[in-house]
């Protein structure tokens, strides 16, 4: 059997250093964990501990590391559409209309024209942006742009979605809306998600497991399961068990300050 249910993504004794002015700085130290099929894993830790670096390595933007990173049983050697990325800023192409931003990936994959058009509409509808398909990014709010960025990643049907502080630039209300939307889309498409966030509530609301990294060089100091029932909705945030788990993680992080 090769369904990767125990590890679609396997990170094994990962070490990463950057060299600057002939000085080597260790950024990630002995990081080992797995992300199963359809699983959501949250990564939290102090600023500068290597969270974005970790996502960049998994995305395949950088192959300079020690240890192993395997996806679907293969070493990661380059970026690929099956590992989609959603960044903190939406990074849409400013010169393309929303529909063309969404269609960009499928066009590069040489999908049939009529399919691209149909899929574009489907995914814009899923994120509540169908009425804006002829707009340009600058005509949308930050939250709306982030919805488009989510649709742009999901239209490629990634097995793994890499999210780097995806909603941190948004106000609280918009962030909650995006978290609810992410839960809804995850229920529908079930991609695995590796979610880097500063927002403990976000990690608890979305993730099945949370990995806590130490101050740089980032080392895993705790891995905890988040066993709240699914499907989840925003009411979970108000529950006692949610608050108890949140304080546990906050205690862990306050030790690192």
Interaction site with ligand ATP (CB under 6 A): 18, 20, 27, 47-53, 216
The strand pairing partners of 160, in sequence order, are: 83, 192
Alpha carbon distance 38, 188 (integer Å): 11
Q: Choose from ligand ATP, Mg ion, none: what does 88 bind? Cβ within 5-8 Å by kind.
A: none
Whole-number minimum distance, CB 50 to Mg ion, in Å?
8
Whole-number minimum distance, CB 198 to ligand ATP, in Å?
6
Q: Choose from ligand ATP, Mg ion, none: what does 18 bind? Cβ within 5-8 Å by kind.
A: ligand ATP
Whole-number minimum distance, CB 102 to ligand ATP, in Å?
27
Q: Choose from ligand ATP, Mg ion, none: what does 137 bind? Cβ within 5-8 Å by kind.
A: none
Whole-number minimum distance, CB 18 to ligand ATP, in Å?
4
Q: Choose from ligand ATP, Mg ion, none: what does 42 bind? Cβ within 5-8 Å by kind.
A: none
Identify which of residues 31 and 49 has a Cβ nearer to ligand ATP in the complex: 49
**E-only strand ranges, the chain:** 9-20, 23-35, 40-44, 66-71, 74-75, 83-86, 160-164, 192-196, 209-213, 220-225
Whether omega before 231 lies within 30 degrees of 0, making that bond cis, reads yes
103: which residues sit within 8 A by CB, 6+ positions away? 116, 117, 120
Alpha carbon 98 to its chain centroid, in Å, reads 21
Whole-number minimum distance, CB 87 to ligand ATP, in Å?
11
- Asked if 150 and 84 touch (Cβ cutoff 8 Å), the reply is no
Q: Choose from ligand ATP, Mg ion, none: what does 20 bind? Cβ within 5-8 Å by kind.
A: ligand ATP
Q: Which residue number has the CB closest to Mg ion?
A: 52
Helices (H), 15-135: 51-59, 98-108, 113-126
Residue 3, class by beta-carbon neighbours within 10 Å (0-12 exposed, 13-18 middle, 19+ buried)? Answer: exposed
Note the residues at the interface with Mg ion (CB under 5 A).
52
Identify which of residues 59 and 129 has a Cβ nearer to ligand ATP in the complex: 59
């Amino acid at each position: 059997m090769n369904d990767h249910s125990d590890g679609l993504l396997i990170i094994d004794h990962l070490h990463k250093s950057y060299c600057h002015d002939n000085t080597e700085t260790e950024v990630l130290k002995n990081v080992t964990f797995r992300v199963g099929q359809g699983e959501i894993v949250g990564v939290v830790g102090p600023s500068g501990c290597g969270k974005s670096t970790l996502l960049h390595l998994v995305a395949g933007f950088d192959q300079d590391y020690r240890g192993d990173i395997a996806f679907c049983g293969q070493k990661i050697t380059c970026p690929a559409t099956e590992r989609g990325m959603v960044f903190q800023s939406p990074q849409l192409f400013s010169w393309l209309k929303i529909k063309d931003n969404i269609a960009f990936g499928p066009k590069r994959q040489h999908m049939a024209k009529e399919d691209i058009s149909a899929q574009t509409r489907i995914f814009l509808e899923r994120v509540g942006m169908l009425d804006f398909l002829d707009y340009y990014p600058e005509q949308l709010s930050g939250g709306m742009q982030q919805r488009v960025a989510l649709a742009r990643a999901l239209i490629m049907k990634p097995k793994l979605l890499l999210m780097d502080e995806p909603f941190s630039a948004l106000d609280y209300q918009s962030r909650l809306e995006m978290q609810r939307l992410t839960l809804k889309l995850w229920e529908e498409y079930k991609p695995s998600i590796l979610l880097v966030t500063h927002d403990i509530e976000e990690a608890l609301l979305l993730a099945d497991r949370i990995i806590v990294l130490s101050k740089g060089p980032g080392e895993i100091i705790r891995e905890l399961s988040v066993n709240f029932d699914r499907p989840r909705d925003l009411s979970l945030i108000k529950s006692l068990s949610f608050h108890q788990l949140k304080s546990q993680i906050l205690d862990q992080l306050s030790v690192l300050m």
